Structure 1
């Protein structure tokens, strides 16, 4: 084990492209979309289009930040640059908590999908088994993580494309299901596009936003990607096509075959469609696909939380031991720590298996909104403070700054939705406590009084950037001294 190494650029172009697709196609599409369809009816398609456009511009802002300084390995570096150390501390730990929530929700989904075959099996048993397997995989080299995610994502892509192709064949042939003929008119024949009114349409956004949770994971892989200057922009620019094909296309086909009024919110609509046409084996195949999707998202959660803990440890915001790497350049202690916290999911699935999914996804959605809002604010600060980098940039976010404010307004709208919905209100009450704890914890860990000579030193150094470089060099000298002491021991 070593502290001398840094993260290795072991992710290839095909890994990142499929990782981006995997991030855009979450468990929310396979499991949560049933509840969303039940709430909004066909208007769920509009919810996905709106949210997808917001996420595309969000990713363009993040991409511009990442391309402005390839020495930075994650967006937390930019938070520290433009918003300060306290903001980086709070944002880093919140992002860790976000992905922990996602992994918890997807471990819960693993248990639900396994009950499709084994009704007698408690939810917590498969959750525990999958967690142990994924932890072992994450302790190998990052290229193995990329390879595993490549195949996980490919399974999802093949399944959705197959659903669309088969579904189109059913619709154009007028295939009869228990609900009647398969036809596009099913989209508006059961109460129109907004059958539950504007309120049902608004309530659907909570689960729709959760479906896109993790779309920013591409930004966290920048430090471990070969040729990020070419690969990252390519992955971001393909997001609109993925949204139209995988979300809008798949759900439109589902609701054309199986009218929205017959969709069971507690069951995957993907499985329901194949059950409706009488192909039992196909239903099992689809269930396997969504099971791998949940495992994939859990795997990404373990990866992202371990890298975030590693990044925080390098800044002194997490225990020193968390920055230790294996000979394969994997932060093993950070990975084990995050996995240990994930064991809470197993307990929750044992205590409250019926309500754990909605509760966890609500908390996760609130925290992701904070992370995304910070990204947008960082982008605005970057545009304001670094006109030299903006001028040299070849990958700019379109429609700045109008789109920045529209995105922030959309996030505020989602918070109102969370507050109005009784099922998700608990998240709005719980998560502010998390931020208060982090704020207080940072104050406790950084009790040093401000140096009255700092402004004078900065003036003597010439610029604040030069002052920060000197401070960074001092920290490196201290680190080398500590490592020499460890060597002697």
Structure 2
């Protein structure tokens, strides 16, 4: 194969992959990107979920957050390398299509959609509970519909409207954390009294059971097993990858956003956990009550506790906003490849894939209503959303490894923002994710004497095989359409020595045109 033919094939391959970008508006600016990156790293996992982990783990939870934070940084550097190789709103789906083929893209897309669909149901239910803090008689279904209507309107307006919402949501979340950090530093530094307990760094080892409790209700492996829950606290930092396709200047903004992640994790997560365990014994934090609300309540600042409740609602709404934004774009990427219903291709004049967004919102409504009627019906399903997070992170590491293999071979140009320490950082990330799955099964087994109440164990041992069995059946259904759409080119775009199929025919033009309806 001559250099000319190889070059032409490579150009045509990229043109085909970039077809899914048709119709999007590059309207997200620097401040939107920075705040989307911050907002993705701060959510209910910190504001609410940290309470139960502090209670069950002790001060050693600080190490859990720090270690997972390092993995999250590896993840973001891997994602940064991919984005600067090719920015696309199809994100992980598009990268899996490029490096591992159509079936891998199909599985990745629907796993990502499942993750956000189930997460959104949980967040809507959470908003209903948070609102009842002030209006106990407010029907949950009414709160669900109001919250969903707000984020649905925001997403249907434009990508910039989404960015504005996330910007101000991030401002609220970051503001609340900064206020707590300032108050906490003063209280801990001056060793002030909080509800009869003296604050101070000595609480880290003076906590009942010590820094790493291993007696009584605690187990030595607690801080290790809890890392599975910490992963989900960091979930959504990968949103920068989805937003990249609509950034005005991703080559400049993505590296800045990615490099800032490790600093934000260190300050916002590790800093907050450090101050929390320095201010009160971890046994004082209770599941279902934000540890920040507990702290301010003990200090007699109930109004600050109310402010945190507002931030909890904002965090949940931000998660819903991100879920609708990303699933709409991922569904359109799947639709372009004939792996999702054709209506998911439809876009508005402002560049919004409205059909996919509305489809996800309908699932949110039915799921939230059913969850309100039978609260236990979604318990296992919501835990299954966690598998989607792990799978998405795994695809990012795998795609970065394959990209680096190809650039090292000279098949495609190297990314302008390569991950340091590759391939080892991605190998470490994949090994960690495998450990988290094992940890979920182990902690789930120990959580209850009754089999069907061992939620995480059931999800791992039964849920994962069932999910992939359903996906396999779905692939067999859509495969004929995918074959027809691609001319039976189902394998990865790149082989070890160049484009897999040589000069490549672009996807069905009708599919692209139809996406503008």
Render the CA deviation track for 1:87-131: whole Å, top value 9, x for unaligned: 001101111111122222222221222222233334443223201
Provide the rounded CA distance (Å) in 2 between the counterparts of 1:161 and 1:107. Answer: 26
SS of the counterpart of 2:60? helix
Structure 2 counterparts to residues 120-159 of structure 1, below 5 A? 120-159=137-176
1:63 Cα offset (Å): 1.0
Provide the rounded CA distance (Å) in 1 between the counterparts of 2:298 and 2:89. Answer: 50
1:214 Cα offset (Å): 0.9
| Cross-structure match for 2:494 | none
- C-alpha RMSD over aligned residues: 2.6
Change in Cα spacing, 1:223 to 1:412, as seen in structure 2 (3 Å) is same
Render the CA deviation track for 1:208-232: whole Å, top value 9, x for unaligned: 1110111111001111001000101
Provide the rounded CA distance (Å) in 2 between the counterparts of 1:180 and 1:113. Answer: 28
| Cross-structure match for 1:465 | 499
Unaligned runs of 5+ in 2: 1-19, 445-453, 490-496
Q: Structure 2 length normalisation: TM-score?
A: 0.85
Alignment match of 2:406 (pick from 364, 372, 385): 385
More displaced stretch, 50-59 vs 61-70: 61-70
Aligned pair 1:402/2:424, yes or no?
yes
1:448 Cα offset (Å): 7.7
Structure 2 counterparts to residues 9-20 of structure 1, below 5 A? 9-20=26-37
Aligned pair 1:192/2:214, yes or no?
no
The answer on whether the counterparts of 1:90 and 1:438 sit within 8 Å (CA) in structure 2 is yes
Render the CA deviation track for 1:292-337: whole Å, top value 9, x for unaligned: 1111111111111111111111221112221111111111111110
Provide the rounded CA distance (Å) in 1 between the counterparts of 2:422 and 2:21. Answer: 41
1:469 Cα offset (Å): 4.8
Structure 2 counterparts to residues 260-409 of structure 1, below 5 A? 260-353=282-375, 359=380, 361-387=382-408, 388=410, 392-409=414-431
Alignment match of 2:114 (pick from 97, 100, 114): 97
The answer on whether the counterparts of 1:37 and 1:265 sit within 8 Å (CA) in structure 2 is no
The answer on whether the counterparts of 2:173 and 2:315 sit within 8 Å (CA) in structure 1 is yes
Aligned pair 1:165/2:182, yes or no?
yes
Alignment match of 1:176 (pick from 185, 190, 193): 193
The answer on whether the counterparts of 2:92 and 2:395 sit within 8 Å (CA) in structure 1 is no
Aligned pair 1:424/2:456, yes or no?
yes
The answer on whether the counterparts of 1:123 and 1:349 sit within 8 Å (CA) in structure 2 is no
Aligned pair 1:445/2:478, yes or no?
yes
Change in Cα spacing, 1:305 to 1:448, as seen in structure 2 (3 Å) is closer
More displaced stretch, 247-256 vs 157-166: 247-256
Provide the rounded CA distance (Å) in 2 between the counterparts of 1:208 and 1:231. Answer: 27
The answer on whether the counterparts of 2:88 and 2:244 sit within 8 Å (CA) in structure 1 is no
Render the CA deviation track for 1:189-248: whole Å, top value 9, x for unaligned: 121111123232123222211101111110011110010001011101111101111101
Provide the rounded CA distance (Å) in 2 between the counterparts of 1:72 and 1:132. Answer: 24
Provide the rounded CA distance (Å) in 2 between the counterparts of 1:33 and 1:361. Answer: 18
Provide the rounded CA distance (Å) in 2 between the counterparts of 1:418 and 1:197. Answer: 15
The answer on whether the counterparts of 2:89 and 2:242 sit within 8 Å (CA) in structure 1 is no
Provide the rounded CA distance (Å) in 1 between the counterparts of 2:428 and 2:231. Answer: 16
The answer on whether the counterparts of 1:33 and 1:207 sit within 8 Å (CA) in structure 2 is no
